[in-house]
Amino acid sequence: MDGPVVPLVEYEVANDEVRAVYDDIMQTRGTDWVNNFWKVLAHDPALLKRTWQSVREVMAPGALDPLVKEMIYVAVSATNGCTYCTYSHTASARAKGMSDAQLMEVMAVVGMANETNRLANGLRPPVDEAFLPA
Amino acid sequence: MDGPVVPLVEYEVANDEVRAVYDDIMQTRGTDWVNNFWKVLAHDPALLKRTWQSVREVMAPGALDPLVKEMIYVAVSATNGCTYCTYSHTASARAKGMSDAQLMEVMAVVGMANETNRLANGLRPPVDEAFLPA
Amino acid sequence: MDGPVVPLVEYEVANDEVRAVYDDIMQTRGTDWVNNFWKVLAHDPALLKRTWQSVREVMAPGALDPLVKEMIYVAVSATNGCTYCTYSHTASARAKGMSDAQLMEVMAVVGMANETNRLANGLRPPVDEAFLPA
Amino acid sequence: MDGPVVPLVEYEVANDEVRAVYDDIMQTRGTDWVNNFWKVLAHDPALLKRTWQSVREVMAPGALDPLVKEMIYVAVSATNGCTYCTYSHTASARAKGMSDAQLMEVMAVVGMANETNRLANGLRPPVDEAFLPA
Amino acid sequence: MDGPVVPLVEYEVANDEVRAVYDDIMQTRGTDWVNNFWKVLAHDPALLKRTWQSVREVMAPGALDPLVKEMIYVAVSATNGCTYCTYSHTASARAKGMSDAQLMEVMAVVGMANETNRLANGLRPPVDEAFLPA
Amino acid sequence: MDGPVVPLVEYEVANDEVRAVYDDIMQTRGTDWVNNFWKVLAHDPALLKRTWQSVREVMAPGALDPLVKEMIYVAVSATNGCTYCTYSHTASARAKGMSDAQLMEVMAVVGMANETNRLANGLRPPVDEAFLPA
């Protein structure tokens, strides 16, 4: 760990615009703390607010349940090799009920997809007619 | 489309080892055709067999249901920008019941995760203690 | 194919600086044509010259033989999903003697490495002491 | 280092299925220890077994020699930025005889390929007819 | 081109929520058409609206001028190998005044950064004290 | 931090070829030290020299000013998740005058571009005629 690129904006020193977002994060999640990701974004309050509102909307229950969404987040983060996101979203998925067996299956699919993506990239089979949208 | 890097191995000219895999693919899926991905892998029958057996095992029902697995496959393929895999696994997910609304939510999560992965990569917040495994 | 982002600079209309590079490419390779990659770079003659000189130096025989280097180029291009580079470097590797069996083994390693890279990214085993440089 | 996402499964507490794989890893490599990558996979014994069998098969001597395969593994791992894989496969390649001069040439090719992949992605030269498979 | 994964939602058949976004896109840009990216997003009106509002906010003049932002967009798109985004954002940057010489310099930096990113990933120099945030 | 894969080549023990590059780096930058990236490259003096000369050329004032180039470097490094490069080029950009507000806007564009790149990859809108080069 080599430290954040910009200092963490703690609640105590945050301006009202930032505090309003922090308050909404804590209330939405039912927690009394805000994780470091938001504390670096807070250097640009508009970015903080926009990103939080998008995350809140995107991760809410919809056509997919929140746990499935969180596992997709984990899958993308592992594919991209994002350290912070892997720890934070794996923790979030567990908090939503993901078992170790489910985590291992997510990883198995992620590994397999990354493998076959490259086999297709390198050998370049034409897309089958049957797979094309009507 | 600029054509496959190695010729497609069609059933008619395939050797017995390859045909056995093709037969298993068709039987497992209840179809009478094999998609082009397997036809390029067939140039290395051991690679073909190993990859198919892994896909069959990984994508089978387990702690996660097959549709969730297929949507994770789509998420990884879009993250990596694999053309063939995006079309083929989106088609597979639809065949397993994915609605357009579910596809759009998968995409929304994939987009959001790719965004926040880079915000974390660029600003490097320290991983919160609460997210670390016990 | 949607066309190049900048027009191809053909030999006939190229300036002397660009022609000198094209001449060196053809002489080094023993061919009478220049591939399209160089014709887009030619819009910035300094970039063209620098890139060609680096490629010529890097891909020359050294501690590794040129075919091994070309196969590494193919492996990286498939990992990144670069269409142009996959076709061009696979063709170059074949011109240097790569068999279909070798190509398939390159792909098998590339697939496997992309898979295990993500398993490690997602599950984050600590680096073993024995692997750390002395 | 922030610790593994799932605890390491040590030999002493592993079940028979896991021990059988660990034993095969140690026997194949002629070592008396198992590296941490396998100890996180062991939470899913089927994933552990399948992954190990694939690695053993893929990395065995074939149309390419094992050192070339290991250097391709290093090239992919550096391209993807996988920390664990970079240390472990660089160590493996050295154990198979890779010199520092060879490592530096692998890196030079990896760097060059990553550079030209993006020049092609951004400027999009059409694939030359001569590079297309017959 | 193998066609969009979901049909394009044209203005004529769009619902009011989608039309409102299309209208705002055209008004903000001073054009009488909407590009295809938005027409696929329109299958999820909330995603369409949120994404457009974010793009409009992020790409507006601020501490950086809009052309610099557009060139960064091109740089990211070339790094990721996104075909659609490379063509569309290169066109946007040109519309905002980017010259061919500037485009070629963007590409030179993108190529160099992708090269040195992998040299650092593969050889892993420790971060110098002087580079760490205070 | 697990240490560099090859030892750092310090000035005191460097050969004349390496020292000449180190001297040029320090003179060009007006500093009395060389950062670790160059000290690992120094194991291959030709790679060191070629990479430094390219960086010096590419990052010099041209059609784009050096600060814009440095911010593009930061954008690519965050997209690729390169730890060393993110810290070093963010520090360089700050030394060239980048404010925190500018850094945050770079990140906002990088995040947005990474998001929309994947929405386009997954939904695959056709490239609009208007975006194609003439």
Question: Sign of the C-alpha dihedral, residues A64, A70, A76, A78?
Answer: negative
pLDDT at C67 over 80: yes
The per-residue pLDDT for range A86-126, each reduced to its tens digit, is 999 999 999 999 999 999 999 999 999 999 999 999 999 99
For an interface test with C, which of A79, A88, A118 has the most C Cβ atoms less than 10 Å from its Cβ? A118
Mutate which of E90, E118, E123 to test chain D, going by most D C-beta atoms within 10 A?
E118
Question: In terms of domains, do C23 and C68 share one?
Answer: no
Q: What is the pLDDT of residues D75-129, one digit of tens each?
A: 999 999 999 999 999 999 999 999 999 999 999 999 999 999 999 999 999 999 9
Q: Are residues F54 and F87 in the same domain?
A: no
> The CATH number of the domain where A39 resides is what?
1.20.1290.10
Q: Do F2 and C50 touch (CB under 8 A)?
A: no
Q: Provide, as residue numbers in chain B, all residues whose Cβ is less than 8 Å from the Cβ of F78.
A: 118, 121-122
Which of A71, A109, A114 to mutate to test binding with chain C, by most C CBs within 10 Å of its CB? A114
How many CA within 13 A on the CB side of residue F105?
23
pLDDT at F1 over 60: no
Q: Indicate if B3 and B42 belong to the same structural domain.
A: yes
Question: Are E121 and D79 in contact (CB < 8 Å)?
Answer: yes
User: Is C131 within the bounds of a domain?
Assistant: no
Alpha carbon distance E72, F85 (integer Å): 17
What whole-number distance in Å separates Cα of residue B44 and Cα of residue B100?
Answer: 37
Cα–Cα dist F76/F59, whole Å? 14
Of E37, E58, E79, the one marking the end of a domain is: E58
Measured over the CA atoms of residue D1, residue D3, residue D4 and residue D10, the dihedral's sign is: positive
Q: Give F16-75 as a 3 state SS string.
A: HHHHHHHHHHHHHHCCCCCCHHHHHHCCCHHHHHHHHHHHHHHHCCCCCCHHHHHHHHHH
Residue E74 and residue E54 share a domain: no
Residue E90's alpha-carbon distances to C63, E98, E118, in angstroms, are 40, 9, 25
**DSSP output for C113-132:** HHHHHHHHHHH-PPPPGGGS
Question: Average pLDDT for residues D34-53, to the nearest whole number?
Answer: 98
Encoded tokens for D107: 């890196």
Kindly report the number of other CB atoms within 10 A of residue D57's CB atom. 14
Mean pLDDT of chain A: 97
Is residue D1 over pLDDT 70? Answer: no
On whether the CB atoms of residues B72 and B88 are closer than 8 A, the answer is no
Mean pLDDT of F85-89: 98
Cβ atoms within 10 Å of F39's Cβ, excluding its own: 24
Helix (H) or strand (E) holding E52: helix E45-58
Of E23, E39, E58, the position where a domain reaches its end is E58
A30 and A69 share one domain: no
The verdict on residue F21 lying in a domain is yes
How far does A15 lie from chain D, in Å, by closest CA? 31
User: What per-residue confidence (pLDDT) applies to C19?
Assistant: 98
Do residue C107 and residue A123 have CB atoms under 8 angstroms apart?
yes
Q: Which two tokens stand for residue A15?
A: 């301006």
Contact E85 F113 (CB under 8 A): yes
Could you read off the pLDDT of B56-91 as tens digits, one per residue? 999 999 999 999 999 999 999 999 999 999 999 999
CA distance A126 to chain B (A): 6
- Helix locations, chain B, DSSP H: 16-29, 36-41, 45-59, 66-80, 83-95, 100-123
Given a contact as 3+ CB pairs under 8 Å, which chains touch A? B, C, D, E, F
Residue C83: closest CA among chain E residues belongs to which residue? Answer: E81
Q: What is the ipTM of this complex?
A: 0.97
Percent of chain C at pLDDT > 90 equals: 97
Question: Does F118 lie in the same domain as F85?
Answer: yes
SS3 of chain F: helix, strand, coil, percent, to 5: 70, 0, 30
Q: For helices D66-80 and D45-59, what crossing angle results, to 10°?
A: 120
Q: How many residues does chain F have?
A: 134
- Please report whether residue A84 resides in a domain: yes
D62, D68, D123 ranked by CB distance to C4: nearest: D123
Give me B117's structure tokens: 């992965």
Contacts of C105 in chain B (CB under 8 A): 44
The values of phi and psi at residue A16, to 5°, are: -60, -40
Tokens found for residue C1: 């194919």
* Residues on chain C bordering chain A, Cβ-to-Cβ distance under 8 angstroms: 74, 77-79, 81, 83, 86-87, 90, 106-107, 110-112, 114-119, 121-124
Number of domains in chain E: 2
Q: How confident is the model at residue D2 (pLDDT cuts 50, 70, 90)?
A: confident
Q: How confident is the model at residue B1 (pLDDT cuts 50, 70, 90)?
A: low
Residue A2 confidence (pLDDT)? 79
Spell C40-60 as b/e; 16+ CB within 10 A means b.
bbbbbbebbbbbbebbeebbe
Taking CB atoms and an 8 Å cutoff, what residues of chain F touch D83? Answer: 2
- d(Cα B60, Cα B66) in Å, to the nearest integer? 6
- Kindly state whether residue C132 falls inside one of the protein's structural domains: no
Q: What angle do CA A78, A133, A55 make, to 5 degrees?
A: 35
Chain-chain contact of F122 with B116 (C-beta, under 8 angstroms) = no
pLDDT at A133 over 90: no
The reply to whether E15 and E41 lie within a common domain is yes
Radius of gyration of chain B (CA): 19
Taking contacts as CB-CB distances below 8 angstroms, the residues of chain D near F51 are 111
Residues whose CB is less than 8 angstroms from the CB of residue B64 and which lie 6 or more positions away in sequence, other chains included: A71, A102, A105, A106, A109
Nearest C-alpha in F relative to E91: F131
Coil, helix or strand for D57?
Answer: helix
Cβ contact (<8 Å) for C132 and F2? Answer: yes
In which band, very low, low, confident or very high, does the pLDDT at C118 lie, cut at 50, 70 and 90? very high
Query: Is C36 within 8 Å of D126 (Cβ atoms)?
Result: yes
Instruction: Give D1's contacts in chain F (Cβ within 8 Å).
Output: 2
Q: CB A107 to CB D47 under 8 A?
A: yes
Residue D98 is assigned to a structural domain of this protein? yes
Mutation test of the interface with chain E: which of A1, A2, A5, choosing the one with the most E Cβ atoms within 10 A?
A: A2
Among candidates F128, C4, F122, which has minimal Cα distance to E33? F128
Considering only the C-alpha atoms of chain D, give the largest distance between any 2 of them, rounded to a whole number of Å.
59
* Least CB–CB distance from E87: residue in C2, C47, C51: C2
Burial of B96 (C-beta count, 10 Å sphere; 0-12/13-18/19+): middle
- Asked whether residue C38 is domain-assigned, the answer is yes
Please name the chains neighbouring C, where neighbouring means 3+ C-beta pairs under 8 angstroms.
Answer: A, B, D, E, F
CA dihedral D28, D34, D35, D37 (to 10 degrees): 90
Q: Which amino acid would we find at residue F19?
A: R
Burial D32-41 (b: 16+ CB within 10 A, else e): eebbbbbbbb
Q: Do C109 and D36 touch (CB under 8 A)?
A: no
Which of B90, B100, C2 lies closest to E40, judged by CA?
A: B100
Range of the domain at F104: 62-125
Averaged pLDDT for residues C91-98: 97
- CB contacts of E107 in chain C (<8 Å) are 44, 47
| In a shared domain, residues F68 and F114 | yes
Nearest to B2 among C87, C103, C104 (CB): C87
C interface test, pick of E104, E115, E116, E123 with most C CB neighbours within 10 Å: E104
Distance in Å, alpha carbon of A45 to nearest chain C alpha carbon: 31
Residues of chain E with pLDDT under 50: none
What does pLDDT average to over chain C?
97
Write the single-letter amino acid at E44: D
**pLDDT (0 to 100) of residue B2:** 80
- Nearest chain F alpha carbon to E35: F128
- Same structural domain, A53 and A107: no
- Could you give the CA distance from residue F75 to residue E72 in angstroms, rounded to a whole number? 7
CA distance B28 to F38: 54
Q: How far is A65 from chain C (nearest CA, A)?
A: 22
Contact indicator for E85, F116 with CB cutoff of 8 Å: yes
Q: Is residue C104 part of a domain?
A: yes
Closest by Cα among F78, D71, C64, C86 to E122: D71
Tell me what the mean pLDDT of segment F39-56 comes to: 98
**pLDDT band, residue F2 (cuts 50/70/90):** confident
C16 and C53 assigned to the same domain: yes
Between chains, do A123 and B6 touch, taking CB under 8 Å as contact? yes
Q: Which residue of E has its CA nearest to D108?
A: E119
Residues 6+ apart with CB under 8 A from A111: C115, C116, C118, C119, D51
- Which residues of D fall within a CB distance of 8 Å from A83? 2
Secondary structure (DSSP) of C63-79? SS-HHHHHHHHHHHHHH
Where does the pLDDT of residue F134 fall: very low under 50, low under 70, confident under 90, or very high at 90 and above? confident
In this structure, the answer to whether residues E50 and E83 fall within a common structural domain is no
Determine the residue type at E98.
Answer: M
Backbone angles phi, psi at A130, to 5 degrees: -65, -20
CA distance E9 to chain F (A): 11
Same-domain check for residues D51 and D98: no
State the amino acid at position E50 in one-letter form.
R
- Closest Cβ opposite residue D6 in set A81, A83, A100: A100
* Chains linked to B by 3 or more Cβ pairs within 8 Å: A, C, D, E, F
Domain boundary among the residues D24, D42, D60 is at: D60
Q: Supply D26's token pair.
A: 């140690």
b vs e for A47-79, b when ≥16 Cβ sit within 10 Å of the residue's Cβ?
A: bbbbbbebbeebbeebebeebbbbbbbbbbbbb
Does residue C101 lie within any of the structural domains?
yes
